[in-house]
């Protein structure tokens, strides 16, 4: 496949997956990592995904900025930033396959638990420091934080714009930290930066269309979409993808 065809394919898929992330608040990053790995290889895919996620999450946060829960974000950042930095520095040295399977099993258990107890106890704001720490570390090592944090944002009672905006802002903090860590680890090559720049317009367009889609969804349908995304991510992680 020529470089032009590769970039065109990546842009079309990035647009669709950015729309999916904007509608479901998660899932697109996991699938995008698979696409980028197939097209560019893992060592290029992970930092490229981080750059495109900056655009995706930045767009989602901006389009839903009026609904962002800033107190939750403040606690989340306290744990997410240092652990995302540590994970980004450790990425070249740690095996991630066992972590993927643990995360996959965790997500399935959470979805089952939510079916058993559809109204779980809402976590305190301060608990999001620990949640952010786990999501930050997982994002740096596995490429996406959404699946880890999703059940806790749902348990907090966030839906529609409040969920999308808060989750996107939280993820944006992690991805900014990862860019710094990858840069320190020499993973941000000129090729990676060029790919991120080329794919950004498609990502932002997908985020914009996703915002328009969410405004037409009922809260129940929204939660079901999130849970379906969690199960999809779990299956992919258990399969080692």
How far apart CA 13 and CA 9 sit, in angstroms, is 6
Predicted local confidence at residue 37, as pLDDT: 76
Full-model pTM: 0.65
Predicted local confidence at residue 75, as pLDDT: 93
The residue ranges of every structural domain in the chain are 3-238
C-alpha atoms less than 13 angstroms from C-alpha of 98 in its C-beta half-sphere: 2
Predicted local confidence at residue 229, as pLDDT: 72
How far apart CA 218 and CA 229 sit, in angstroms, is 17
Residue among 88, 18, 39, 87 at smallest CA distance from 195: 39
Q: Which residues of the chain have pLDDT under 50?
A: none
Structure tokens at 124: 């305190």
Look-up of token digits 């348990």 = 155
Give the dihedral sign, CA 16/22/24/29: positive
**172 with 56: CB under 8 angstroms?**
no
Predicted local confidence at residue 187, as pLDDT: 60
Residue among 137, 142, 136, 133 at smallest CA distance from 97: 142
Residue among 157, 139, 163, 167 at smallest CA distance from 76: 167
Predicted local confidence at residue 51, as pLDDT: 77
How far apart CA 135 and CA 148 sit, in angstroms, is 6
Predicted local confidence at residue 122, as pLDDT: 81
């Amino acid at each position: 496949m020529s470089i032009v065809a590769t970039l065109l394919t990546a842009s079309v898929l990035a647009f669709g997956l950015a729309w999916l992330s904007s509608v479901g608040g998660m899932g697109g990053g996991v699938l995008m990592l698979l696409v980028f790995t197939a097209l560019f290889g893992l060592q290029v895919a992970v930092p490229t995904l981080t750059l495109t996620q900056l655009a995706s999450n930045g767009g989602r946060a901006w389009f839903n900025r009026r609904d962002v829960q800033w107190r939750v974000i403040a606690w989340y950042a306290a744990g997410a930033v240092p652990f995302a930095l540590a994970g980004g520095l450790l990425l070249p040295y740690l095996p991630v396959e066992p972590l993927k399977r643990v995360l996959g099993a965790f997500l399935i258990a959470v979805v089952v638990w939510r079916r058993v107890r559809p109204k779980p106890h809402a976590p305190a704001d301060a608990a999001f420091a620990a949640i952010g720490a786990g999501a930050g570390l997982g994002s740096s090592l596995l490429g996406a934080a959404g699946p880890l944090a999703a059940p806790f944002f749902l348990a907090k009672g966030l839906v529609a714009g409040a969920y999308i905006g808060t989750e996107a802002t939280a993820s944006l903090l992690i991805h900014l930290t990862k860019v710094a860590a990858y840069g320190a680890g020499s993973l941000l090559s000129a090729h990676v930066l060029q790919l991120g720049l080329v794919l950004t317009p498609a990502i932002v367009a997908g985020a914009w269309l996703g915002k328009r889609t969410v405004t037409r969804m009922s809260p129940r349908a929204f939660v079901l979409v999130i849970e379906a995304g969690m199960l999809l991510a779990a299956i992919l992680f258990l399969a080692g993808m």
